[in-house]
Amino acid sequence: MPRWKPDARQRLIVAALQLFAEKGYDDTTVAQISERAGLTRSTFHRHFTDKREMLAAGQETLSRLLAEGIAAVPADATPMTAVAAGLERASNQMTSFNRELGPLMHAAVEANDELKRRDASKSTGMAAVMADALRDRGVPETVAQVAAELGVLAFRTGFSRWTDPALDENPGELAPLTRAALDELHAAVTQLR
């Protein structure tokens, strides 16, 4: 086995998600993940502390991109326009690798209660980051929180559509799907009165 193989981090993530879906999160070991990826345990530990950390891979980057997109819009932009900009910034950074991970992540999460809790925690973290970015723009607390929650739901809906092979084999880019989901949600909210 060569000492340095390209894309080790990505290969480890794919191997872990496959094993989590097949064997369950609790019954999957770091050694099994490393073996499936064709790497050593020491290579695993160069990239991740443990298998829990793998599930948060990319979360900090995603949160940073959402906040940057919100911060970059003009000062007079509405909260929903700012959220849309955050979604676009984050969505535009998603690659085919992220799209391939979607079904694997979904299968792994659905198979384990701890992973379901961690997934919910990710959504809470995304909402907090967006709400903070909106408050930094002077958006009132309640409005910032509602807009952020809609942003999270739009991202998750768009991502789900983008990664679901049953819906479309070639869905194009993620950004138009998250924008469409945000527009749908905004329209739904206006009907609540």
pLDDT tens across 156-193, in order?
Answer: 999 999 988 777 667 789 999 999 999 999 999 989 87
Which DSSP category does 25 fall into? Answer: S
Structure tokens at 153: 């739901």
Beta strands in the chain (DSSP E): none
What fold is seen in the domain 8-54? Answer: Arc Repressor Mutant, subunit A (1.10.10)
Residue pair 149/127 in contact by the 8 Å Cβ criterion: yes
Residue pair 161/167 in contact by the 8 Å Cβ criterion: yes
Structure tokens at 129: 């980051």
Taking the model in full, what pTM does it have? 0.82
Residue pair 185/148 in contact by the 8 Å Cβ criterion: no
What is the predicted pLDDT for the residue at 177?
94
What is the predicted pLDDT for the residue at 5?
53
CATH number (1.10.357.10, 1.10.3720.10, 1.50.10.10, 3.40.605.10) of 59-190 reads 1.10.357.10
